């Protein structure tokens, strides 16, 4: 793993999540993290989903080795588990995969599941990196709650086709309950599905939506994912790649530079 400079301010944790699957959460997390890395910022992507799709989308093997609770709770162990993304400079990954199912099961067995393990484990990463992006699982289970509890920013992908007020309100309510710091909640609109512009949706109880939308080209995104590449590395001139670069600029301006 590359060794980032330690002379930097504490990195905010951007959790990409929603208590609903199929809304572009993972593709947003992967391509946002890669775009932030492209800008020259040392970036960490945390894949907290047992499916490990964010890990695979960057050309890495899904983690099937059980590392114990200390792998997520202890800052030194957490950092030691991070690996470099093979095709993207400045980007490291805490890999997800089937091993997280064992962690999830262990947390469920506890009478009072601990929801601040990730928050504690990220304390060293906040000093090492300039930006941290977490791909949260699409459920308010122990892993999902750990993601929300660690957030400085909750970024919620919004799609008219997959919009659920109940899921949004549940996610936002749980984040506010668990987070022990000031929390900014932002939405990003997912546009262009099958050639049709979607206007996005309002985000209740939030800080607003970012001034950009993602040109959602499912075919290009799928091809990039199958090759283990961020979309701007696979199809740099595509509309969807340009829209993720714009998302990165918005996040830098409204989140990272404002921190």
Q: pTM for the complete prediction? A: 0.89
- What are 87-98's pLDDT values in tens digits? 999 999 999 999
- What are 16-53's pLDDT values in tens digits? 998 777 778 999 999 999 999 999 999 999 999 999 99
Do 116 and 142 contact (CB within 8 A), yes or no? no
Is residue 7 very low, low, confident or very high in pLDDT (cuts 50, 70, 90)?
A: very low
The reported pLDDT for the residue numbered 204 is 55
- What are 185-226's pLDDT values in tens digits? 988 887 644 444 443 445 555 566 666 678 778 899 999 999
- What are 66-85's pLDDT values in tens digits? 778 888 999 999 999 999 99
């Amino acid at each position: 793993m590359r060794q980032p400079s330690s002379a930097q301010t504490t990195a905010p944790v951007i959790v990409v999540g929603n208590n609903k699957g199929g809304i572009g959460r993972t593709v947003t997390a992967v391509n946002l993290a890669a775009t932030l890395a492209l800008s020259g910022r040392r970036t960490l992507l945390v894949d907290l989903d047992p499916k490990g799709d964010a890990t695979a989308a960057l050309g890495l093997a899904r983690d099937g080795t059980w590392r114990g609770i200390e792998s997520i709770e202890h800052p030194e162990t957490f950092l030691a588990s991070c690996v470099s993304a093979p095709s993207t400079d400045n980007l490291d990954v805490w890999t997800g995969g089937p091993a997280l199912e064992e962690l999830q099961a262990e947390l469920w067995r506890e009478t009072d599941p601990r929801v601040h393990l990730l928050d504690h484990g990220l304390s060293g990463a906040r000093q090492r990196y300039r930006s941290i992006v977490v791909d949260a699982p699409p459920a308010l289970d122990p892993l999902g709650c750990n993601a929300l509890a660690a957030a400085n920013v909750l970024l919620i992908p919004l799609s008219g086709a997959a919009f659920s007020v109940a899921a949004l309100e549940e996610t936002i309510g749980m984040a506010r309950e668990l987070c022990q710091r000031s929390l900014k909640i932002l939405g990003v609109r997912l546009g262009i599905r099958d050639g049709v512009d979607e206007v996005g949706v309002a985000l209740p109880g939030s800080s607003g939506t970012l001034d950009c939308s993602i040109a959602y080209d499912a075919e290009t995104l799928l091809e990039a994912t199958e090759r283990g590449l961020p979309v701007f590395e696979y199809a740099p001139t595509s509309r969807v790649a340009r829209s993720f670069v714009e998302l990165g600029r918005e996040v830098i301006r409204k989140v990272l530079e404002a921190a």
